[in-house]
Every structure is written in structure tokens, then in C-alpha cells.
Structure 1
């Protein structure tokens, strides 16, 4: 099927909630993708921080094939071996004692928020149900999760919102102190706000959130859907910041492209979701958990995590140089391999234009809002492929800059 035929059929049969770019990938290997016409791309997007080990990693493919010959699905009426093994491996690698498996970040967060409400009502009065969250956060697309996120563009138009949610500015300690109270059942935060601009939390902010939760008997929930599984150079972001939550949610890279998510928590907290209180038909699917077990084993290695730090240094240095040469970026921020290139002056609002021009030059990047170009490449991307992607990205930015009537000079800063 040609690209034109594919896009025409897409427009006829798909619900129009997406606006996909014109490229349709058909094959991937490592850090490279190929479209229907055979055009090759260097992938700096990573499937939105999903493909932590690149495309079609042979050991993940082997794990999927092996499990595919054994058992695909049996339902949560039964336990299954891959789910048990993966849950055990996750508890061995984290603060947590218990795991609930789901299929997406939204589902993992839905479980966490329901757990928080149940925990609050079980441990406090009937009014201990408030969830405190950050403005401009992102926690998924279910009705509950868009209400928690504090971005009206995701929640407007769907009728009455879920009540009992308080929003505060991100990294504002005083604002957090003003709203967390005996009515609070949970504070939920992303260690890095990914979708709204790749903005890392301040360590002091997360530390204060931990203290406030302890003082008021509330749960601290970290949404590590984007930051988990080695993305920051530690296996999980809570380790990077040195702040341990009560609940952590994972998705994206936990399955490296196979739909899988998890909510992790402690023994004491987990007891508040008793038999029948929550569930998922496909959560803990044997195929997904077999892939997840292999992914965790591969990512949780010192050389892989150390390599994230090395690639961060190489990538951010090059991006700052490129941005300065062409006057496109005013800052490069982020941690590990979750990076945001903040667009300078006349380029503000044009993140999608930059993304599309990069695509035309054979490199895939993302946007995080309208003013930030986001990169989330494979944790094991070959340095030579990274350099090639940077060359393609610079060609795209040079092309854009040549169309700007008044090029600007800018000094690129670092924002962590």
C-alpha cells in the first residue's frame, strides 16, 4: 500500500483524535526506522520514551517468541509465571513490596489514584480524599487522570470533572505547603514533567513533598511513566533524586514497546486494595511480562546506566553547539536521555515545525508543548548513530534558520 493510499484509508476508518505526520514506519532496527518508501530515519524520539533498547532488540524478540509458544493469555482468574517473575524482579530492584500490572500509563495511574482514595478513606475521616497534583502535569487520558493532570486542554469538553483535586505550580514549595492538609490522601508528581516541556523537579521540592505527606498521613505518588527504566541514568528517577515514594507508576519503557504498565507500592499500602477492589483483563499478560522481564534484566546493568550518563554529556554538548550556531535554542534541559531543547525568541511556538523539518532530514524528534523540542532516544543508541542523527538535525535547523528573516545570536544555557 502506498503512503497516499494508507493515509487516505486512515482518514476514512480512524477516529479523528490524532493528527499523524505523513511518514508511516514499517520496520525498525536499533536506532533506525524505515518507512513505506524505504527512507531511513535516525530515531531520537524513542516512541515517546518507550523504545529504551531501540527497535526489535533481539533478546526481547526472543523472549516474546519463546513465550508466544507457551501461553498467551489465561485471565486474572489464574496467576502466571512471567507475571510472578517480573513482579518479584521489580520488588527486588525497588522500594516496593507489591506490584499491580496494567497495560498503559493511564491505567497504572488510575490504579494509583483509586488506591490513594481508598487509603485516605480507610485511614482518615470521610473527607480525606483530596489529591494534590502539579499544574501542567500529565498522567494519562482517562477521565480521572486528565482531571488530576491540571491541563484544561485535556479535560475540557467531557462534562463534570472529578472533584477533590487540588493543583499547585510545579516546583513551588510554598504553594505545596499551603494545600497539603489532613484532607489530603495523596500528592502525585512527575520527577520530570515530560509532556509540558521536559522540566525536572527540584530535589528540595520532592523532599518537601515527602515531608508533608509524612506529616499529614498522605501517600506520595511518583509518576515514573516517562522517567522510569533507566531514562535518567538510574533505574528509577526516585533514586536519582534520593526521595522514596509510597507508590510508583511505570509504563512506556517497562515493555520497551509491548503494552505493559505497573503500579508499585509497599505491603502496608497495598492491603487497601483487597480482593475485587480493582482489576484488569489483560494486566499481567504473560506475553507482556515475559518481554518486561527481559527488558528489566537488560536495562538494569551498570554499563547500560553508566552509558546513559555518557550519552547525555555527548548529546547535550552537541545540541547546545548546534542551537547556538543557528540561533534556534535558548536552553537545553533535562536529565539523562530525556531532554528538552527550548526554542529561542522568534522560534517560540514552532516546535512542530522543527519536528517536521527534522523528519524531512531523516531524524525523528518530539515536541513537548509548542516551545520545546524533546529527545528521548534509546538508552543504548550507538554513539556513531547519535552523531549521524545530530548531523541530520543540524541540517534541518540550518534549513529552517535560512528561512528566518532576522537570524538571532543566542548563548545556549543549561537548565536542569
Structure 2
């Protein structure tokens, strides 16, 4: 008997240790991790610097309420602003960050309508779930928060028809992660920004999976040559320590005055010390260039693999965020199970997409080994198909 709700479909495996880019299960078997704990462990496992920072803070003070000043929050917020005109609110997760973004957008504009996109994913709390454009996630939880509309991704005409001066915000992922690793088109994003400017609508970019170096820049929006009004972060920000953040333009600061929003644990000392160190490490030109180089290496290997098997319909992604669209969901399930047996951990996205999110610290040798295991399993699966 389990004393847990069965809301997760758990595999019969338990991780007991992580070393760099490798996970070890309860039986001592090692696995190359191409998931980063669903995009969390950007600096890998057991990082000595992060362990030292966490241990140092744990020996002093774990928690102080947000009734008092916090130099650690100020330092981390400044690093997140990255020289731009933003202020930060800290919380504990991506869903909470998106909740804060939705509340800020509505309060700052005095409007309620929010446009999201089909197959998007923004979290499972009520506001974030209502922003998520997936009916399967809504089932059983209606009525949702009102005034959310879901439009086709990468389609400009539908947005032109729906966005107006009653729209508080447009919220989108620049690469839909859970939806199937689908990148937004560059020109489409620029047109969204222009439509938002024309109608007084705020642009919210959900960087929870794409942020903190995952796509080869600190934030994915930098590669789209736009600057959002609001953006949200979590996952890789704490490298496993629960932390989320919502950043908005300084001009919106008054909309989030005292009493407007809050979090008991948001911005606690342990999370801030680790997040600050993560940012210090990742937001370096050489580090980000290496992510871009390794991302190109990964995509090259996957595109070459696509030429060797008819099971691959498409390869897409950016940086260290890749998706391999397979022929159907049954093939995906079989491939993922075989990869696990071979010692490679992967993720699912959409209906039939194999999602790869390796740690940003992964080596060329490990990337190549992962691609070799993918080739071995896919070619074997094709013979059995």
C-alpha cells in the first residue's frame, strides 16, 4: 500500500545519487541523464560549489519572512534583471511565477482577458492551468478562471482577430516544451510584440523551461530580439532547490504594492544563495557559447540520425532543448523504455515527441554516447516495427 496520491505515473525506479550528468538507482545501476530532472539540473548533480554555498547558508539562517529586507533577494534580482529595467518577485515554482504574472497583468492594466496558445503549458494551479491550452489538463477541474482564450501557435491571423483593447496580456512559451518542443517563429513573435504595443496589451514570456541558459542565452527571448513586459522563471534557477521568479518592468512596480501578493517561503535565504550562484556561473559569455556549441553538436547528431530511420518524422529545438517527433505514441513508449534499459533517461512531450534536456554541463563524449544509444534503440525498433 502507498500513502501517496496516485497523481504521478511513477516508474519502478528510485534515484539515490547523482554525479555530474549521471544518475544512480537503488540497485547501483548508472544512467546518463538527458532530462536534467525535467529541465532543472542545468549544472548537473553534486556540484561542489553549489553544495558549499548551500551548506554555508544552512549553517547560518534558513528562513526569514518577507517582512524584513533581504540582501540575498536584492543580489539575485539584480542578476536576473541582467542590466535591464526589471524588478523581481520571488516564489517557489513555475506555476506560482505564472500566477503572479497573471495577477500583475490584470492589476496593472485593469483588464481581464488573457490570450494563450493551444498546446501551451503554464502550470497546474488554477490561474496557470487556465492559461494552459490543453483540454486534457483542464478535465475535471471546471469551471476554470474566466477570460482566457487559446489560439493556434505560430498563427498571426487568429491573434489579429482576437487581440484588442480589452486584452490584459498575451502569454507564451518561445519553445512549447510539454506541447512537443515547438519553437515560435521569429517573425511571429515580433508581430505579437507590435500588436501588444498597439493595443496596450502586456507580453508575458514563460521562460520556466527555456530560461537560465537552456537555449544558449540567459533567456530565450534575447534570441528573438524582443523585450517582454513580464517574464517568468523557475526550474534551472535553483538547480534543484525550489525557487521561482516573476520579473516585470519597473513601471509596473506600483501595481504590486504592499499587500497585493506574497509568499511565505518565496525568496528564502537557501534558495536565494543557490540561485545567485547558479546565475553567476551560467550568465558568462564563455559558458553560454559552450551551450550553443554543444546544442549544435546535439542537433547535428539528431539530424544525421533522422536520415537513418523512418521512425523519426521531425527534429527540432534550440540549444540544449531538443525534440524528436516519432511516428506514434506506441513507438515513443517503446523507445523510452528501451533507452532506460540501455542506461539513457529521456522525457516525453506532446503525443509522440521524445524530449531531450541534457544538463548544460554535459560533455561532448556524453552527448555522442547519448546519440549512439538513440541510434541503437531506434534502429532496433524499426526492425521490429
TM-score by length of 2: 0.97
Within a 5 Å distance, the mapping from 1:100-115 to structure 2 comes to 100-115=89-104
Give the corresponding residue for 2:285: 302
1:34 maps onto 2:29 in alignment: no
Q: Match for 1:89 among 79, 96, 112? A: 79
Give the corresponding residue for 2:109: 120
For the residues of structure 2 that align with 1:397 and 1:31, how far apart are their CA atoms? Answer: 23
Give the corresponding residue for 2:306: 323
1:173 maps onto 2:156 in alignment: yes
Within a 5 Å distance, the mapping from 1:106-255 to structure 2 comes to 106-121=95-110, 128-255=111-238
Cα displacement string for residues 339-386 of structure 1 (whole angstroms, at most 9, x for unaligned residues): 100113xx4553232222211110011110221100011112011122
The gaps in structure 2 that reach 5 residues or longer are none
1:269 maps onto 2:258 in alignment: no
Give the corresponding residue for 2:340: 359
For the residues of structure 1 that align with 2:58 and 2:178, how far apart are their CA atoms? Answer: 34
Q: Contact 1:188/1:223 (CA < 8 Å) preserved in 2?
A: yes
Cα displacement string for residues 122-151 of structure 1 (whole angstroms, at most 9, x for unaligned residues): xxxxxx210011111000000111111121
For the residues of structure 2 that align with 1:289 and 1:192, how far apart are their CA atoms? Answer: 27
Q: Contact 1:330/1:343 (CA < 8 Å) preserved in 2?
A: yes
The gaps in structure 1 that reach 5 residues or longer are 1-10, 122-127, 405-416
Give the corresponding residue for 1:6: none
Give the corresponding residue for 1:392: 373
For the residues of structure 2 that align with 1:350 and 1:368, how far apart are their CA atoms? Answer: 13
SS of structure 1 residue aligned to 2:273: helix
Q: Contact 1:72/1:285 (CA < 8 Å) preserved in 2?
A: yes
Give the corresponding residue for 1:19: 9
SS of structure 2 residue aligned to 1:222: strand
1:80 maps onto 2:70 in alignment: yes
For the residues of structure 1 that align with 2:310 and 2:142, how far apart are their CA atoms? Answer: 43
SS of structure 2 residue aligned to 1:272: helix
**Equivalences, count:** 385
For the residues of structure 2 that align with 1:18 and 1:348, how far apart are their CA atoms? Answer: 19
1:343 maps onto 2:332 in alignment: no
